[in-house]
Every structure is written in C-alpha cells, then in structure tokens.
C-alpha cells in the first residue's frame, strides 16, 4: 500500500490532524483506491476513518471502509522554512472493523 498524506500539527497543543489517499496493488495488478482522515495526539497513533472509493481490474466496484489507527515507524523529517516540513516513512495500519464489499 502506498499513501500520500497531509498532516497538520499544532505543537502547542500536541495534536495532529491528517488526511490522504492510498493505492493498494495486488500481485496481478488489480488496485484498490482509498481515502482516509485521522486525528492524533503527539504522534502516538492517528485514529480516524478509512474509506474504499473504488478499484481497478478484477477489483473494479469494490467499496467499504471502517475505523483505523495508523502508527508511524521509521519516520524521517526534512524541515523547510519555519512553518513547513516534509516527512516520509513507514508505519502500520490497524483496522478493527474493516468492511469490504467485493464486486
């Protein structure tokens, strides 16, 4: 799964909000597209919603979603100016009640 995201932090409050999109690609090239949003406290874990928005190939027509928790690991920061920074890394997503409806 590859994701692009935007995380906005409030350093004074220790909180973070985020949103993004992901593409999951199966071995045969079929794809699932998702969007997500989450809120976190001091990068402990970002809790939010994960929504399947469609698919491609044999997964065209897939839909569903559920609550998720994302925990970062191996995150790297590159500071821009005083107000911005770029990050890249990896992490683990937990879906406690993920529902998928296959085509």
Task: Indicate if the alpha-carbon torsion angle 13, 86, 68, 56 is positive or negative.
Answer: positive
pLDDT tens, position by position, 48-68: 999 999 999 999 999 999 999
Mean pLDDT in order along the chain per 10 residues (103 residues): 80 82 96 94 81 97 94 64 65 86 91
CA distance 49 to 35: 8
pLDDT for the residue numbered 67: 94
- The domain tally of the chain equals 1
Domain that holds residue 84: 2-101
pLDDT for the residue numbered 44: 72
In eight-state DSSP terms, residue 98 is -
């Amino acid at each position: 799964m590859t994701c692009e995201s935007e995380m906005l932090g409030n350093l004074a409050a220790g909180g973070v909000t985020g949103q993004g999109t992901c593409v999951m690609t199966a071995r045969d090239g079929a794809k699932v597209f998702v969007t997500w949003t989450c809120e976190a406290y001091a990068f402990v874990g970002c809790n939010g919603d994960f929504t399947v928005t469609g698919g491609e190939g044999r997964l065209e027509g897939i839909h569903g979603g559920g609550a998720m928790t994302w925990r970062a690991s191996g995150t790297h920061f590159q500071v821009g100016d005083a107000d911005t920074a770029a990050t890249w890394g990896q992490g683990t997503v937990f879906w406690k009640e993920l529902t998928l409806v296959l085509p």
